[in-house]
Homo-oligomer: A and B are copies of this chain.
Amino acid sequence: MAVALTPPAREALLPVPGVKLGIACAGIRKADRKDLLLMTLAEGAVTAGLFTRNRFCAAPVQVCREHLTAGAPMRAIVVNTGNANAGTGERGLADARAICTEAARLTGVDAQQVLPFSTGVIMEPLPVERVLRGLPQCVTDLRGDNWLSAAEAIMTTDTVPKAASRRLRMGGREVTLTGIAKGAGMIHPDMATMLAFVATDAAMPAGLLRGMLAHACEQSFNAVTVDGDTSTNDSFVLAATGVSGARVEREDGAEYRALRDALTDLAVQLAQAIVRDGEGATKFITLRVEQGRSREECRKVAFAIAHSPLVKTAFFAGDPNPGRILAAVGYAGIDDLEVDSIELYLDEVRVATRGGRDPAYREPDGKRVMQRDEICVRVVLGRGSAAATVWTCDLSHEYVTINAEYRT
């Protein structure tokens, strides 16, 4: 029951020269489902990653950080679903390293050139031997046009595979970006989402790549929430193979801006797809907070609304209960907020002004907006010129069902 989200067409996902993807059914948690992905990167590729700030970060996240700081260029990415390899202690680390070693052996690179990722249940031992046994199948399957299968192979409670492409021209050359993402619950990224991988065939120094990744992440994955739970495995990785020959040299150039904007646009689409497919989601909610003193305070207000179970259940019910939204604004932690200057809109309908209900507000107008599948809540703080946007979904019976039955 994802909100206005359908699987991408296979042909809409553009191969990225220098990138190959191979998929396997490794039986990690369930039989006969795609659950293992190997992505290889051509020699010369540059890679950057952003990872969860959860202190209980998963074993593969720790190994990714090690490998990215060690300095050798990345040549392969391995992702399994069905088990997050998080809260697994020393054994989890050893398992993540064993996967890198085996993937390196099969693809002829060093273990330090492999990035491992896992997603699924937390705190259960990873059945590492199944991952190792599945890797040769992935190698056999390696192809450039395998992005849709790759998106399917990293799903957990996702109901729709999430993938998208962009194409632009840079310096007379054609440049491609294609990315995949997964995530539906435990979504309140603090750095990046559950898992997202974007590749491009543009060429770029590592420093520029990292800056571009951080910019895109801030606008996309760091602006969505499903349930306020920051995952142990959040990762957002960007690889630039350089195969197109189009090269980004300077942060203040037109090429950088064009590629950065295309990446941000793509990341926003993937991040929104995660919310649209949020566990049990029936509504897609945009929270727009304007006229704050800083972007940070606007985000605080937006996330307070987005995390309120009372607001989320009111959206599920299609009930215009703007008092719950105002209450969340009130406890967002902005100590000197003057409620008299605040306005609240549901799409085009102003429901509150000057600390209370808008005298012109009529309940049927609010009701009409709340029946929509996609709703924009706009809060005007009236105390500055900063703004922020956050996307979230409602809280439904289905959310409780999914999470009460997740492991059974």
Contact = CB atoms under 8 A, between A and B. Distances in A.
Contact of A228 (B309, B324, B397): B309
Contact of A121 (B91, B185, B309, B323): B323
B355 A309 contact: no
B56 A395 contact: no
Contact of A327 (B186, B317, B406): B186
A89 B231 contact: no
Contacts of A125: 357
Interface string A179-205: 000000110101000000000000000
A87 interface: yes
Interface residues of A, number: 68
Interface string A4-18: 000000000000000
A327 B400 contact: no
A373 interface: no
A213 to B, nearest CB: 21
A327 B406 CA distance: 16
Interface string A366-408: 0000000000000000000000000000011101110111111
A356 B230 CA distance: 18
A229 to B, nearest CB: 5
A352 interface: yes
Interface string A40-81: 000000000000011111000000000000000000000000
A355 B313 contact: no
B56 A404 contact: no
Which of A56, A307, A401 has most B Cβ within 10 Å?
A56
Contacts of A232: 323, 326-327, 330
Contacts of A229: 308-310, 324, 327-328, 331
A360 to B, nearest CB: 13
Interface string A225-254: 001111110000000000000000000000
Which 8 A-B pairs give the minimum distances between C-beta atoms?
A122-B323, A89-B356, A56-B330, A123-B323, A317-B404, A313-B403, A230-B331, A54-B330
